[in-house]
């Protein structure tokens, strides 16, 4: 098991995990959406009532950092171990176009045959919501490792059900401080929000 979670072996494993999670989630969401649409047609139900704001929405997810770069090197996540973050948070929606997000992300790192929680990130930010489930989030970032910075996030809802919405996001974390070179990263985040 240790060898599976280390080095080059981790990339195919996580690729398979992501593919399975996405396909199962998408299939469930499509079935639930078609079931809901069918019930509404047969029961002649009235459309859902309008949303009252502000509306808090919780979410769970996981995030995989793919690469981090500074002026001297480009470091892939799976080179000397594996790191995965588990973002949890609350989005407070103030309208169908704007909201504020409060997120905490503990990160677990596997390397050298052991694992540990390596960092905790608090990254609040403003949400700019667009049509078709697309959202841009501008986050500040404060890490227990001593680093700080900003993280632009590009988020897309890819499946909706009555209880949850499934999303995928790409983020570009820029980090500074703690006597280290500034860095820019590329992350993939997959999760769901509670409706």
Q: Are 63 and 83 in contact (CB under 8 A)?
A: no
Cα separation of 138 and 71, whole Å? 24
Strand 174-176 versus strand 183-194 pairing type: antiparallel
Confidence of residue 18 (pLDDT cuts 50, 70, 90): low
Name 133's Cβ contacts closer than 8 Å, sequence gap at least 6.
156, 157, 158, 160, 165, 167
Residue 12 in this model has a pLDDT that exceeds 90: no
Q: Which domains does the chain have, with CATH numbers?
A: 7-194 (2.40.160.20)
Query: Hey, what's the torsion of the CAs at 108, 109, 112, 113, to 10 degrees?
Result: 30
pLDDT at 51: 83
- Decide: helix, strand or coil at residue 18: helix
Residues 138-151 have pLDDT tens digits of 999 999 999 999 99
Confidence tier at 50 by pLDDT (50, 70, 90):
confident
Task: Compute CA distances 16 → 10, 20, 27, 137, whole Å.
Answer: 10, 6, 16, 28
pLDDT digits (tens, 9 = 90+) for 21-37: 555 555 555 555 555 55
How does pLDDT run across 116-135, given as a tens digit for each residue?
999 999 999 999 999 999 99
How far apart are alpha carbons 176 and 16 in whole angstroms? 33
Q: What is the pLDDT of residue 1?
A: 43
Cβ atoms of 164 and 193 closer than 8 Å? yes
Q: Give the residue, 35 or 62, on which the prediction is more confident.
A: 62
């Amino acid at each position: 098991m240790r060898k599976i979670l280390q080095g080059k072996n981790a990339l195919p494993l996580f690729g398979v995990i992501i593919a399975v999670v996405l396909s199962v989630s998408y299939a469930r969401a499509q079935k639930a959406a078609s079931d809901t649409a069918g019930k509404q047609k047969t029961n002649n139900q009235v459309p859902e009532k309008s949303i009252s704001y502000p509306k808090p929405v919780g979410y769970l997810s996981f995030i995989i950092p793919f690469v981090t770069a500074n002026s001297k090197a480009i470091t892939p996540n799976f080179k000397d171990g594996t790191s995965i973050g588990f973002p949890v948070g609350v989005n407070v929606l103030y309208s169908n176009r704007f909201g504020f997000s409060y997120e905490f992300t503990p990160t677990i790192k596997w390397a050298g045959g052991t694992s540990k929680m390596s960092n905790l990130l608090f990254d609040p930010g403003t949400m700019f919501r667009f049509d078709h489930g697309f959202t841009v989030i501008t986050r500040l970032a404060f890490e227990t490792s001593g680093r700080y910075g900003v993280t632009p996030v590009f988020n897309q809802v890819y499946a909706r059900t009555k209880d949850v919405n499934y999303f995928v996001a790409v983020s570009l974390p820029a980090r500074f401080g703690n006597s280290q070179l500034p860095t820019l990263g590329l992350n993939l985040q997959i999760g769901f929000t509670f409706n």
